Amino acid sequence: MLFALTHALDDEAMNYIRENGIDVLVLNSSDIPSCAGQLEDADALIIRSGECRADVMDRCPKLKIVAHVGIGYDNMDVEHATELGIACGIARGSNSLAVAEHTLAMILALAKDLKNADQGLHSGNWNVRNAGHSFEISGKTVGIIGVGGIGRLTAKLCRAIGMRTIGLQTGAEAPEKKREEVEGAGCIYYDDLTKLLADSDFVTVHVPLNPSTRGLIGENELRFMKPGAFLINNSRGGIVDENALSEALREGRIAGAAADVFTSEPLPADHPLLSAPNFIGTPHSAALAREARARMMMMTAETCVTVCRGGESPNVVDTSVYARRR
């Protein structure tokens, strides 16, 4: 049995794979299509970075699972994989706490004006302390778009420091089910995105990227936000229209924003958000806390071993693949 990896995992996960008698091929490349010729004998492909689309899957007759070391699956063609009997694995829930904590850190950094205070201090502007931009967040409202694993933890952390939490679910679930999920997370239920945007001091996005969420927050939606409100996206680039967000920041239509994810990664040096006022960005690192990284890698390795040996893992995106797998 052979597992191909775009990049090596940590020692614990690599040892686990090898201790199960599995050979390992480390590609050291995110350009999976260019490596397709090396994948023809692979039973599993583990992706740390890169995309696996239909053309690659079609060239891999032995492939049983493609797994992403993370919780997103927009870098895998799940529908085509399922048709071929190839499972698509994710490390479900492994980094939820890390991303929720990162979100809270961004809320605090924006509220306390830490970026401008730090830059002022380093440039010798001690009087930046009198800018009057910092405020307390206790009692402020945070609107959570997507109250899943990360959204629930974000709500819990925000309430712990006195914030009011409201929430909205996207997707095709029945309204009753959405209400149950939002209220089960301790949030006030909203079924209208523009109303949630209008009522929030902070808006944080925690939904997957798919056709229904692409461009979910655009120019029109941003106009419903308060002038003193802040937007945070630690989900996926493409959910928020970055050009519209840049313009809203420049025109002062919202007070600030933060993001860990972008439509194009790495972020180009001339990206408009990098020069937008009161924007805080991180390089898609929210999920990479040491503990979360270790969980993601081990969970991915365990899922691949389970599936390749004929077992079933709850960390497969579309479990209907089990009825048609290779």
Q: Kindly report whether the peptide bond that precedes residue 266 is cis, defined as omega within 30 degrees of 0.
A: yes
Q: Strand locations in the chain, DSSP E?
A: 2-5, 23-26, 44-47, 65-68, 87-89, 141-145, 164-168, 188-189, 202-205, 230-233, 256-259, 279-281
Question: Is 192 buried (19+), middle (13-18) or exposed (0-12) by CB count in 10 A?
Answer: exposed
Looking at 92, 152, 284, 293, which residue is catalytic? 284
Virtual torsion, Cα 114, 249, 255, 119, nearest 10 deg: 20
CB 112 within 8 A of CB 140: no
Q: Say whether 265 is catalytic.
A: yes
The DSSP code sequence of 140-182 is: -EEEEE--SHHHHHHHHHHHHTT-EEEEE--SSS-HHHHHHHH
Looking at 12, 265, 291, 312, which residue is catalytic? 265
Looking at 68, 92, 102, 236, which residue is catalytic? 236
Cβ-based neighbours of 181, under 8 Å, separated by 6 or more:
147, 148, 169, 173
Minimal CA–CA distance to 107: which of 60, 73, 40, 155? 155
CB 181 within 8 A of CB 149: no
Question: What are the catalytic residues?
Answer: 236, 265, 284
